[in-house]
Amino acid sequence: MVLRFIIGTTKSRMNRKIDFKSFAVLLILLLTISCKTDEDRFVEKLDGGYTLNQMKYKGEDIMPNVLAAMLSFDNKEELLFKPPIVKDEIGKFEKYKWSFSKKADNKYVINFETGHPYFRGDFEPQFEVDYENRQLHLILKSENTYINCTRLYVFENFGELKNEW
């Protein structure tokens, strides 16, 4: 009977150890899955529609040629970019792939695969919050192009979005 008690106690302790190990593995797995990387947060921050405020190419104002002053990043299944419609040059129906990388100074650069000169080269994104007007601004600068746009947030809350910017 004493032997049965010792064996029973040992099995009970082993089950507790196994349960703790299982719990620890499950916890680590959940934390790994739920933690977002800086890259994930960057992509989420860009995702959405924007109204175009200003666009210059080699110092020249492009806005008179813009037919639809909207652009968007659709990052649900793959990284896609919808540029503004600029006359017959770009943006009517197409969505283009885009990619990003991180420079040595930890700043991101974006590359658009449009083939159009307006979107050629490395673009450095800047995110600005205008608290007074409750607006979120995205500025994209390359060697030749300057784009200033405002984030559209119809179903989202400014208070939550501004914290992400």
Read off the pLDDT of each residue in 135-145 and give the average, rounded to a whole number.
Answer: 95
Residue 158 banded pLDDT, cuts 50, 70, 90: confident
Please say if the pLDDT value at position 14 is more than 60. Answer: no
Which positions ≥6 away from 127 have C-beta within 8 Å?
A: 45, 136, 137, 138, 139, 165
State the residue for tokens 């197409």: 94
More confident residue, 135 or 18: 135
Closest CA to 71 of 133, 121, 140, 135: 140
pLDDT higher than threshold 60 for residue 77? yes
pTM of the model: 0.74
Average pLDDT over every residue of 52-61: 97
Which of 3.40.50, 1.10.3470, 2.40.128, 1.10.1060 would CATH assign to domain 38-164?
2.40.128
Query: Quick one: average pLDDT of 86-114?
Result: 90
Ramachandran angles phi, psi of 131, nearest 5° = -65, -35
* Residue-range domain boundaries for the chain: 1-35, 38-164
Q: How many helices (H) and strands (E) does the chain have?
A: 3, 11
